[in-house]
Amino acid sequence: MAASSRQQSSVRDKRPNFLVIVADDLGFSDIGAFGGEIHTPHLDGLAYAGLRFTDFHTAPACSPTRSMLLTGTDHHIAGIGTMLEIAPEFRGAPGYEGYLNERVVTVTELLRDAGYLTLMSGKWHLGMSRETSPWARGFMRSFALLPGAANHYGAEALVRMPAARRRMYMEDSDFAENLPDNFYSSDYFTDKLIDYFEQRTDDLPFFAYLPFSAPHWPLQAPEDLIAKYRGRYDAGPEVLRQERLKRMQSLGLCPPNVTAHPVIAETKEWDELSPEERKISARSMEVYAAMVERIDWNIGRVVEYLRKTGELDNTVVVFLSDNGAEGAIAEAFPVFGPLIGEFVRTQCDNSLDNIGRSNSFVWYGPRWAQAATAPSRLYKAFTAEGGIRVVAFLTYPGFQRQQKISSCFTTVMDLTPTLLELAGIQHPGTSYEGREVARMRGRSMAEYLRGDAATIHPADQSTGWELFGHRGIRQGDWKAVFILPPQGPGRWQLYNLANDLGETNDLAAANPDKLSELLRLWEAYVEQTGVLLVPPAK
C-alpha cells in the first residue's frame, strides 16, 4: 500500500505500544499466578500487576485461534475452518483454505497503515507460502515458523512434511534454510524480536507479536532446567491436579465449592503403570515444566528490554494460551499419527535419561493435560471448557481494572477490536484495499478495562465454536455442547456455567426449552460463519 494512503503521523506518536504473547498448548493452571507450581516469576509479576481473566475463550486448537486473534472474526470465516493437516478432506471449501484468506483484514495490516511498526517472531501456522506468510499480512519484520510444530532444537523437520526442512522458517519475505547451531525455539524467537526492537530507527509505536511454539510437543528443554524438576511429579497427575485446584481456589480463580469434571482418558491410571512407565511419564512432565519456565525467562528478557528503553509503561501486554492443554496421544492422529509413530520408533531415543533432548520426541498425554485444565472438562481439540477456556491476562498501568481478577466472558476475537480502539483506529467494515472483507465479531474490551463498563459482552449475545465435529454455543451462563464419542455422548448437552464450571450436570432433559433456544442460536452461527460438519462434495 502506498504511504500516502496510510494514516501516518509526522510527529512522535504517543499511542500505546502492544506486546501480544501466545504460548502454544499451555494449560490453564501452568503458571504460578493461575495456580501452578512451575517457576514463572516474570509471567506472575505481569499477571498480578494486570487483569487476570478466568472466563477467556479461544478456539479448541492453535491455528483457528491465531486466525481469530489477528482478525477479530471467526476462524471459519478467516480461512481456518478446520486444521487441514488433521482433516484434509475439507480443503477447498470457502473458509477452509488453510491460510488467512482475502475475506479478512488483519490487525497488523491496519496498525501498519496507521503508522505502527509491526513485528513478529515465532509460530505462524496460518499459511506455508510467501503469499500467505506474516510478510504478506502486515508484518514489517518477521521471523516465522510456518507450520504448526517442529523440533525445538531445529534438528528435524516436521515428520508429516518430508520436504519441509527447506521451507519451515521465513524471515520477512525469504525462506530461512539455515538455523544457528545453538537454536532453541523459545530463545531464538526472543532473540529475533529483541533484534528487531534494537533495529528501530524511529519513534513509531509498535505492535510486537511473540507466539512461542513451546510447550507444544515434542517436549524438549535445556537439561539444567529439566534437572530442577527432577522428582517433582513422581506422585502422578491426579495428585498434581488436586494441588492445583486447591491453589486456584485460594487465589480466587475458581469457586471454593467447584466440582471438577472427572478425568476422561483411555490411558492407564497412575497406579496401573509399571515403575518404569511412571518414571517416563513423570520425566515427560518435568521436561514440560522446564519448557514453561524457559518461556517465562524469555518473556523476562523482553520485559527488561522494554523497561530499560522506557517503553514498558506505555505498552499494553497481552498473554494467553492458544487453546487448552494438549491431551492427545500424538501417534493416534489418523492422518499423520502413523508417520509420527514410525519416526519415533526409528529416529528417536526416548530412553529415560534422553527424554527432553533434541533427538527425543515425547508428549505427556491426557492425564497430565487434565491436571492443567481442571476443573474444566477435557482439553485441546474439544469444545468443552477444557479445550477453549484458557489462561490469559492483560497488563497496562493506564487501565483502571488492574491488579484484579475478571470473571467476565471474553474471547480471543475481542483482542483486535480492543487494540484498534486503543490505537484510535477504525476497522474498515466491509471493504479494504478494494476487496470485500468480513466485519469483526469480537467486541472491544476498552471500556471495561477503563472501568466504564461492567461487562464486555451483552447478556443476549451468543458465541459459537466448532472444530473436528465437536460443537458448542453459549449465551450468558448457558452453554450447549456436542462432543463426539468416545470422549462425549455424541448428542447435545446443556450446562449452566455459573454454578457448574466443570460441566458435570447435564440439564438438557430438565430444560428442553433452553436447549432448543440455544440450538436455534447454533443454527444461526452455522449460517453466519459457514461451518461445515461434513466435507464438501468433490
DSSP bridge partners of 479: 474, 495
H-only helix segments in 348-425: 365-373, 385-388, 415-423
The answer to whether the CB of 68 falls within 8 A of the CB of 75 is: yes
Cβ atoms within 10 Å of 10's Cβ, excluding its own: 6
| Residue from 39, 42, 76, 125 carrying the catalytic annotation | 125
Measured CA to CA, the distance from residue 315 to residue 382 in angstroms comes to: 33
Measured CA to CA, the distance from residue 396 to residue 403 in angstroms comes to: 10
Dihedral angle computed from the Cα positions of residues 398, 404, 408 and 413, in that order, rounded to the nearest 10 degrees = 50
3-state secondary structure 166-194: HHCEEECCEECCCCCCCCCHHHHHHHHHH
The answer to whether the CB of 196 falls within 8 A of the CB of 339 is: no
* 348 catalytic per annotation: no
The DSSP letter of residue 389 is B
Q: How many CA atoms lie within 13 A of 328 on its CB side?
A: 20
Return the residue matching grid coordinates 447454533: 522
Question: Of 439, 476, 424, 473, whose CA–CA distance to 455 is shortest?
Answer: 476
Measured CA to CA, the distance from residue 232 to residue 105 in angstroms comes to: 46
Measured CA to CA, the distance from residue 416 to residue 18 in angstroms comes to: 11
Measured CA to CA, the distance from residue 28 to residue 260 in angstroms comes to: 14
**318 is written with which cell numbers?**
497481552
3-class DSSP state of 226: helix
* 125 catalytic per annotation: yes
| Residue from 62, 76, 348, 470 carrying the catalytic annotation | 62
Question: Which residues are catalytic, by number?
Answer: 62, 125
